[in-house]
């Protein structure tokens, strides 16, 4: 069994090869923009740009070394993914699964609950799309994506475990957002936009892996990842193109102490992402707007002779510690990390030597996780998280701090699953509270948004031998406090067009619902998993007076996965 997993999908036969061919030839991607995502990864998984999710079990996405550190996304409202009874193995508790601490990798993935396998792998091909008007100005309008994913873990030797994932995807946008960045709604207020929303094609390759081993009472590990993106406008008489490179590296160590299975560890994360965009407006001129907080953006006419080059460099370092113990049969994990983030934005080559706009942030993240089996056929897992972020922004044309902000994200989420006979069921639920405070000293405007999003999803599966079908649904109503920000004066039309609708979206009372269906079919010693999902987000009250987006946003996805290993 182990040897078979160790070879991953080697030796899987011609069908696996055919699937590999398909997965590589047809690119992939979930087009979903930045989302409301509890930090534990139980809902949607973050990636480096917050722009895409990775198919497969949601809990298996949180370990990525490419996750954005010291940053809190302002995402579109989404319903949670749900327990994913057929998507992959049951959640593994531990510091690696919840925070990507590589020192815990070998122990967490080797020592699962009874019935857990020592290895698992999956190849998945997925197609997804989303459309609708209930979105913000910088979000993509309509998008479809094809995504290929390979992921899994396997033992290496007697003491080690390797885990890895690749993602290849290609996205088509009928109309891009106004922003040139892939994912505009993160903490930094500096976003370059223009007056066009051209049809766009995006391509991405993402590689990440981790290797951990247990040596003489220590757990050591390293995780590394790299993501490259490229996008360009198509079939439009101007060129808006760009690319992004995101490397990430995490090293960690863990030590088992001689009391009650207590383990302490530490890890350090480095990431230095960059993103480059080029705007050539020929022959159609366009106007470039540099968003700098709540000030009215200045319009810069871009013509054939004045192309615009924008470069964003984002550096983040995080140092964290882990503590783990088992008390009364309950496994407890605590992770705390602190770090700093620095983002520099340059425009055009002449200013490459000096950043024009700067965002400096610092903050911390804390996870508390508890898990325990409930009898022989059930297990429960609870995660509480808190992220705190403060930051300051300085503009090239001014001296001193132009804007500052404090963000906080609190989340409590739980996963409960049980099986009896041919039936199994899972419930995933929790609540998230997100707060964004911003003060722009240039225009003396303050916003204080607080968004509370409870979420709940359930899934029911019935098996027949190794075959199974599952059906599930989830819902996430969002309730905002703090009120909608006041409308700016009429002499700020660009602010009204690009900034105000985003604030109004955040302040809207809205909800998202989703439903999905999965089926699992055994083929030889592997499993073929087919799934489909539909989702809809709408405001619960239509308020147009404050430029709040209206309508609805729908998303869908269909996928086929090829799995080996992983008892469920």
Which residues of the shown chain bind other proteins in the complex (CB under 8 A)?
Answer: 6-14, 16-17, 20-21, 24-25, 27, 150, 154, 156, 162, 166, 168, 201, 203, 205, 207, 209, 226, 228, 230, 232, 237, 239, 241, 243-245, 247, 272, 274, 276, 280, 282-283, 304, 307, 311, 349, 352-353
Choose between 207 and 473: whose C-beta lies nearer to other proteins.
207
What is the Cα–Cα distance from 266 to 252, expressed in whole angstroms? 6
Can you read off the two tokens belonging to residue 372?
A: 């325990």
Choose between 10 and 216: whose C-beta lies nearer to other proteins.
10
Q: Minimum distance between the CB of residue 278 and other proteins, rounded to whole angstroms?
A: 9
Q: Any bridge partners for residue 1, and if so which?
A: none
- The continuous run of DSSP H or E covering 420 comes out as strand 403-420
Q: Minimum distance between the CB of residue 152 and other proteins, rounded to whole angstroms?
A: 10
H, E, C per residue of 552-566: CEEEEEEEEEEEEEC
Q: Minimum distance between the CB of residue 52 and other proteins, rounded to whole angstroms?
A: 15
Q: Minimum distance between the CB of residue 150 and other proteins, rounded to whole angstroms?
A: 8
Q: Residue 103, SS3?
A: helix
Q: Minimum distance between the CB of residue 194 and other proteins, rounded to whole angstroms?
A: 16
Q: Do strands 160-173 and 143-156 pair parallel, antiparallel, or not at all (unpaired)?
A: antiparallel
Q: Do strands 330-347 and 357-373 pair parallel, antiparallel, or not at all (unpaired)?
A: antiparallel
Instruction: Yes or no: say if 223 and 267 are a contact pair by the CB < 8 Å rule.
Output: no
Q: Minimum distance between the CB of residue 31 and other proteins, rounded to whole angstroms?
A: 16
What are the Cα distances from residue 168, in Å, to 7, 38, 53, 252, 454? 22, 24, 12, 28, 32
Choose between 354 and 490: whose C-beta lies nearer to other proteins.
354
Choose between 14 and 400: whose C-beta lies nearer to other proteins.
14
Return all residues near 19 (Cβ < 8 A) that are at least 6 apart. 123, 125, 562
Q: Minimum distance between the CB of residue 146 and other proteins, rounded to whole angstroms?
A: 12
Q: Do strands 200-215 and 160-173 pair parallel, antiparallel, or not at all (unpaired)?
A: antiparallel
Choose between 236 and 418: whose C-beta lies nearer to other proteins.
236
Q: Minimum distance between the CB of residue 156 and other proteins, rounded to whole angstroms?
A: 7
Choose between 10 and 328: whose C-beta lies nearer to other proteins.
10
Choose between 184 and 209: whose C-beta lies nearer to other proteins.
209
The dihedral region occupied by 149, where left means phi > 0, alpha psi between -120 and 50, and beta the remainder, is beta
Choose between 245 and 450: whose C-beta lies nearer to other proteins.
245
Residue with tokens 């995933």: 428
What is the Cα–Cα distance from 525 to 147, expressed in whole angstroms? 25
């Amino acid at each position: 069994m182990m040897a078979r997993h160790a070879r991953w999908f080697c030796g899987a036969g011609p069908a696996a090869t055919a699937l590999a061919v398909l997965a590589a030839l047809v690119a992939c991607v979930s087009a979903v923009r930045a989302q409301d995502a509890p930090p534990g990864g139980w809902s949607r998984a973050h990636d480096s740009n917050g722009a895409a999710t990775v198919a497969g079990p949601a809990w298996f996405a949180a370990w990525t070394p490419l996750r954005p550190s010291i940053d809190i996304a302002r995402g579109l409202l989404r319903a949670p993914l749900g327990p994913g009874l057929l998507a992959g193995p049951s959640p593994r508790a531990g510091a690696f699964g919840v925070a990507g601490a590589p020192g815990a990798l070998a122990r967490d993935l080797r020592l699962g609950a009874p019935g857990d396998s020592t290895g698992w792998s999956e190849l998945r091909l997925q197609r997804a799309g989303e459309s609708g008007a209930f979105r913000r100005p910088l979000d993509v309008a309509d998008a479809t994506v094809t995504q290929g994913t390979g992921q899994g873990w396997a033992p290496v030797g007697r003491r080690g475990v390797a885990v890895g994932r690749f993602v290849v995807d290609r996205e088509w946008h009928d109309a891009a957002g106004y922003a040139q960045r892939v994912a505009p709604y993160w903490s930094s207020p500096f976003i370059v936009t223009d007056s066009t929303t051209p049809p766009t094609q995006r391509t991405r390759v993402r590689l990440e892996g981790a290797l951990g081993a247990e040596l003489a009472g220590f757990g050591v590990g390293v995780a590394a990842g790299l993501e490259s993106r490229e996008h360009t406008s198509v079939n439009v008489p101007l060129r808006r193109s760009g690319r992004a490179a995101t490397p990430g590296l995490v090293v960690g160590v863990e030590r088992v102490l001689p009391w009650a299975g207590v383990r302490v560890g530490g890890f350090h994360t480095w990431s230095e992402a960059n993103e480059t965009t080029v705007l050539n407006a020929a022959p159609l001129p366009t106007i470039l707007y540099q968003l700098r907080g709540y000030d009215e953006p200045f319009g810069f006419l871009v013509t054939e002779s004045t192309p615009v080059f924008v470069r964003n460099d984002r550096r983040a370092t995080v140092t964290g510690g882990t503590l783990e113990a088992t008390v009364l049969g309950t496994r407890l994990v605590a992770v705390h990390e602190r770090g700093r983030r620095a983002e520099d934005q340059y425009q055009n080559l002449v200013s490459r030597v000096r950043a024009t706009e700067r965002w400096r942030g610092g903050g911390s993240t804390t996870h508390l996780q508890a898990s325990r089996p409930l009898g022989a056929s059930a297990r429960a897992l609870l995660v509480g998280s808190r992220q705190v972020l403060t930051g300051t922004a300085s503009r090239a044309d001014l001296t001193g701090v132009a804007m500052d902000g404090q963000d906080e994200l609190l989340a409590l989420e739980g996963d409960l699953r049980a099986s009896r006979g041919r039936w199994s069921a899972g419930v995933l639920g929790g609540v998230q509270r997100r707060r964004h405070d911003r003060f722009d000293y240039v225009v003396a405007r303050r916003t204080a948004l607080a968004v509370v999003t409870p979420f709940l999803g359930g899934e029911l599966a019935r098996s027949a031998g190794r075959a199974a079908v599952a059906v599930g649904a989830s819902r996430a109503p969002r309730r905002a406090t703090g009120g909608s920000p006041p409308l700016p004066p009429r002499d700020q039309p660009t602010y009204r067009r690009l900034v105000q609708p985003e604030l109004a979206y955040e302040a809207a009372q809205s909800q998202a619902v989703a439903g999905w269906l999965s089926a699992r079919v055994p083929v030889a010693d592997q499993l073929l998993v087919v799934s489909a999902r539909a989702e809809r987000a709408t405001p619960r009250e239509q308020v147009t007076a404050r430029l709040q987006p209206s309508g609805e946003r729908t998303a869908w996805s269909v996928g086929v996965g090829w799995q080996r290993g992983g008892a469920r």
